[in-house]
Structure 1
Amino acid sequence: MRFLGDIARLNARRFGSETALIFEGQAISFAELDVYSNGIGWQLLEASVAPGDRVAVLAENCLEFFPLYFGILKIGAVIVPLNYRCVVAEIEQMMRDSSPRILFYTPAFEAQASEVAERIGGVLLARINSDLLRGGAEPLRPLPASFDERATAAILYTSGTTGTPKGAMLPHRALIECAASTALATGVRHSDRVVVTVPLFHGGGLYVVSHPHLYVGASIVLTARFEPDQVFELIERYHATTFFGVPAQYAMLLDRTPTSGTPSSLKSAWYGAAPMPVELVKASQTLWPNVGFLQCYGQTETTLNTVLPADEHNSKLGTVGRELPHMEVRVVDETGIECPSGVVGEVIVDKEAGMTGYFNNPEQTAETIRDGWIYTGDLGYFDEDRFLTLVDRKKDMIVSGGENIYSKEIEDVLCACEDVVEAAVVGGRDPKWGEVPVGFVVLSASSSFVTADLERWCEARLARYKVPRRWHIVQELPKTATGKIRKPALRQMLNAS
């Protein structure tokens, strides 16, 4: 298997009429997934999409996503899944950066797609619906595949230290190796069936969960959005063996404990995409007491790095596990020298297992990839058994409900308001989301702004999950002797309150 599209092609031979995807009561077999993706591939070729061209997708999880996904990949084009939670200005920014030939969208996002297309020009719009699966010339005829396994398969956008999105270029080879290693490390089998509620524009939904299950021919039950009651119902109805959730979702599941107890089919509960407090893990284990819990750790840029498997989960709780079989992870000091066990340093990952760089961003690429290693910005240490523990982040990243948020992006939006003199944003602890942005703002003397005004200002310019949930209007911000804002002091204020 050399290309991601081979997953659809080869599984059609192996598993034929067996179920690959389920969504809202509809199912697609592995044979149909291959035929439908071929048909879409031919439609793209007829539209003059060539290898290396970008194809953007603005869509919630749906039955058509993976046929479209594999159709794009089979012809060597690059899929750009866009975060539908973003406002139009943010979507426009990602579209301008990636310059896609076509933007596919689901009906819920028709207004946003039309507005962005009008603003930037030169992009074709294509609506995602059931008709998409019926078109295309000669869908049974194999598609040409004249591209290299190191070619980019997907560009996934993640926030940058400058507050602008960065597109991580993920090659076919790295994503296939990640799928194979994840399946091996987690014990995924052909007989498994996983409920996927996290969005597929997110690495957690795409290559942490969906890829390894499809790789071995397991079935995926997709939902458009996360609804706690629906999760319990789908596990029961489809006899699901596996569930993956971010910490915020587990917190919401605990509020909706089912009366029927643990489903007999459920074997494994995965969590990741954000730090999950030990207390929340233990509480979630009471929800499904006979289920093996498993933690995943990785980044958009590095794919999945480590897994804390079920058989070692409780004895090593608090760590994020060991490296995957295909993965080499190190912890290094400021000079790049590997740290001994127990010593905190920056986590770095072998470049061959992750992205090749940031699209259209050589400066950030050079800063992040050095001497063949991807520098994650995470701080941690290995114990004597080679289990990795994360302790902090080097940069001011906030992880809220599985989404990465950079404070500078929010600060720039706040400081663009004439009523705001200065602003600083830090992560505050939250029992549901893990962390939420908290804004500290100095207003001008003439301002009549209150926190509701600040919130409205941000909501018009940022995705909702990036808008600070708590506010502090202050007279001044603590600063160093050189005039830099002392964010540790702000965090101390939050922790003391």
Structure 2
Amino acid sequence: MVNVAANVWTNAANDPDRVALRSSRGDLTYGQLRSASSRVAGAVKAAGLQPLDRVVFIAPSIIEFPVVYYGLHAAGVSVITMNTMATAPEIGYVLDDSEAVLVLVWHECADAARAAAADRGLDLWIVDEGASFDAEPVEVAHDHAPDDTAIILYTSGTTGRPKGVELTASNLLDTTSSFLPVLALSEDDRFGTALPLFHVYGQAVVMNTVLVTGSSLSVLSPFEPTAMLEMLRRDRLTAMAGVPTMWNAMLHAAADYGPSDFEHLRLATSGGASLPVEVMRAFNERFDCAILEGYGLTESTGAATFNDINRVQKAGTVGPALPRSQIEVRDAEGTPVAAGTVGEVFIKGPTIMKGYRNRPEATAEDLQDGWLKTGDLGTLDEDGYLSIVDRAKDLIIRGGYNVYPREVEEILYEHPDIVEVAVVGVPDDHFGEEVAAVIALRPGSTATGQEIRAWAKVQLSAYKVPRLFQFVESLPKGATGKILKREIDRDAIRVAAAGATA
């Protein structure tokens, strides 16, 4: 059967009393997870939804997330998970683009979804603690065709509106099977994370892999370094997953913890952004545990390369290709380059997306003969280990969250006082990158960065809102009038922002 829910439910049949999920509010066994999610599936089917109908689901990293998530998969619908900080306009765009027929949302972040659903006359189901649905349980998960769209995750490049990445039922299962051997997980592992489960890394790479294996998954939301350390100690975690800012924050918060608190920890994984080698070194020294870095995109179901636990670890690299995947680094003409030469990274394998929903031209541009054109620049060494050098696109990664400048710019251009704007990433010690806006105001305007930031917060999720502002008479442009972001001085932005807050 091709359905990730069916693979998770198998663990309930084999050992229903084994713990599947842990949190500060209590645990959930595999039997309880199956029982609760089967009722979610029953409620969806009783409502008349058909397989491959689109359903939007919004919730933080709580034990109710997998309950609802696997229930939706068991019902056979295409699941669209979204950031809990999404605004009503952002949710509305996804509802329209995906032609969704139902919205489920965690009760504590329901306002924006309620408004977006009401505007479109869509049903909205509130998910409360326990995710209890009074419905006849579905005993057997829907059997997908391998190429059926199981999930749609919205992402965007540096141009245009967000695109729906269609990932198939087999993509999800192939991702779990790719990571199982390189992580060497077993049923006895106790995995923990504070990653957002609505994101491909937390969802497809971590949650699915852990629960298909039969391990337990401890979840935390929101991330707070001391709380993460407490979870590590409380649940005697053997493995953790995070992004670089999480590891750095935990290092600075670990003063009151000794080696005995970390004695069970054998594995830590990092993704979402480049991990500084110094953070990796300090973590290994403090926790006596190596952080294994990997690389993937939403379009590759989060899977491409990983520093395999069974192989030599190379700090500063994101490891070799995962099993059954291939990596090439190519020049501008599309020819593979020699080891150590910088070029664009291409990925091929069973985890590569089906395509962008209703965007055949964008799909054809990024999928070439089965190879995913990533837009990232990197090098391969003689042993096939990949190092990411830079991003060809202008993507900003702030604390593990993707921020797409064009989307922010389009909102800022709606401000009546803004004539020109460029949104760029500025290096930041804590978040990795901070969102900055370089703005040319209309003549006579006295708008400040603080005022513009407050205005933008109504339209954008909090992590997308610029924190740094620089005001200029005009932005640098090329001969065609295109704004040249490469000529924007990031240091000057920091100076200008410091002066504005002094």
| TM-score scaled by length of structure 2 | 0.93
Structure-2 separation of matches of 1:100 and 1:476? 42
Q: Which sits farther off after the overlay, 346-355 or 69-78?
A: 346-355
What pairs with 1:379-418 in structure 2 (closer than 5 Å)? 379-418=377-416
Give the equivalent residue in structure 2 for 1:135: 134
Give the equivalent residue in structure 1 for 2:119: 119
- Please state whether the residue corresponding to 2:481 is helix, strand or coil: coil
Distance 1:190-1:29 versus aligned 2 partners, 3 A rule:
same
Distance 1:258-1:232 versus aligned 2 partners, 3 A rule:
farther
1:180 to 170, 177, 195: 177
Give the equivalent residue in structure 2 for 1:451: 449
1:18, CA displacement in angstroms? 0.5
Give the equivalent residue in structure 2 for 1:424: 422
Structure-1 separation of matches of 2:9 and 2:118? 37
For the 8 Å contact 2:326–2:349, the answer to whether it is kept is no
1:224, CA displacement in angstroms? 2.3
1:163, CA displacement in angstroms? 4.3
1:37, CA displacement in angstroms? 1.9
Give the equivalent residue in structure 2 for 1:265: 264
Give the equivalent residue in structure 1 for 2:68: 68
For the 8 Å contact 1:398–1:427, the answer to whether it is kept is yes
- Please state whether the residue corresponding to 2:232 is helix, strand or coil: helix
1:355, CA displacement in angstroms? 1.0
Give the equivalent residue in structure 2 for 1:464: 462
Give the equivalent residue in structure 2 for 1:281: 280
1:482 aligns with 2:465: no
- Please state whether the residue corresponding to 1:256 is helix, strand or coil: helix
Q: Which runs of 5+ in 1 are unaligned?
A: none
Give the equivalent residue in structure 2 for 1:160: 157
- The one-letter code of the counterpart of 2:382 is E
Q: Which sits farther off after the overlay, 112-121 or 257-266?
A: 257-266
What's the CA shift string for 1:127-146, capped at 9, x where partnerless?
1124643522145x334x35
For the 8 Å contact 2:106–2:126, the answer to whether it is kept is yes
- Please state whether the residue corresponding to 2:44 is helix, strand or coil: helix
Give the equivalent residue in structure 1 for 2:31: 31
1:176, CA displacement in angstroms? 0.6
Structure-2 separation of matches of 1:414 and 1:438? 12
Structure-1 separation of matches of 2:312 and 2:456? 40
1:375 aligns with 2:376: no
- Please state whether the residue corresponding to 1:322 is helix, strand or coil: coil
1:213 aligns with 2:213: no
For the 8 Å contact 1:293–1:313, the answer to whether it is kept is no
1:495, CA displacement in angstroms? 9.0
Give the equivalent residue in structure 2 for 1:198: 195
For the 8 Å contact 2:79–2:152, the answer to whether it is kept is yes
Structure-1 separation of matches of 2:494 and 2:243? 27
1:312, CA displacement in angstroms? 5.5
Count the aligned residue pairs.
492
1:98 aligns with 2:95: no
For the 8 Å contact 1:293–1:310, the answer to whether it is kept is no
1:494, CA displacement in angstroms? 4.7
For the 8 Å contact 1:56–1:79, the answer to whether it is kept is yes
2:326 to 325, 328, 341: 328
1:170 aligns with 2:164: no
For the 8 Å contact 1:168–1:355, the answer to whether it is kept is yes
For the 8 Å contact 1:292–1:311, the answer to whether it is kept is no
- The one-letter code of the counterpart of 2:285 is T
Q: Percent identity?
A: 33
Structure-1 separation of matches of 2:137 and 2:419? 62
Structure-2 separation of matches of 1:14 and 1:344? 49
1:248 aligns with 2:253: no
Structure-2 separation of matches of 1:102 and 1:233? 37
- Please state whether the residue corresponding to 2:299 is helix, strand or coil: coil
Give the equivalent residue in structure 1 for 2:55: 55
For the 8 Å contact 1:159–1:404, the answer to whether it is kept is no
1:231, CA displacement in angstroms? 0.9
Structure-2 separation of matches of 1:133 and 1:467? 35
- Please state whether the residue corresponding to 1:484 is helix, strand or coil: coil
1:355 aligns with 2:353: yes
1:491, CA displacement in angstroms? 4.1
For the 8 Å contact 1:83–1:91, the answer to whether it is kept is no
Structure-2 separation of matches of 1:386 and 1:491? 35
Give the equivalent residue in structure 1 for 2:81: 81
Structure-2 separation of matches of 1:131 and 1:395? 41
1:148 to 129, 145, 150: 145
| TM-score scaled by length of structure 1 | 0.94
What's the CA shift string for 1:68-95, capped at 9, x where partnerless?
1111112221111111122221111112
1:8, CA displacement in angstroms? 2.2
What's the CA shift string for 1:390-436, capped at 9, x where partnerless?
11111111111111112122222222222111111111100011111
1:360, CA displacement in angstroms? 2.4
Q: Which runs of 5+ in 2 are unaligned?
A: 496-502
1:445, CA displacement in angstroms? 1.3
Structure-2 separation of matches of 1:347 and 1:230? 37
For the 8 Å contact 1:297–1:306, the answer to whether it is kept is yes
1:56, CA displacement in angstroms? 1.0
1:310, CA displacement in angstroms? 4.7
Structure-2 separation of matches of 1:136 and 1:265? 41
For the 8 Å contact 2:426–2:490, the answer to whether it is kept is no
Give the equivalent residue in structure 1 for 2:300: 302
What's the CA shift string for 1:82-127, capped at 9, x where partnerless?
1112222111111211122211111112222211111222x21111
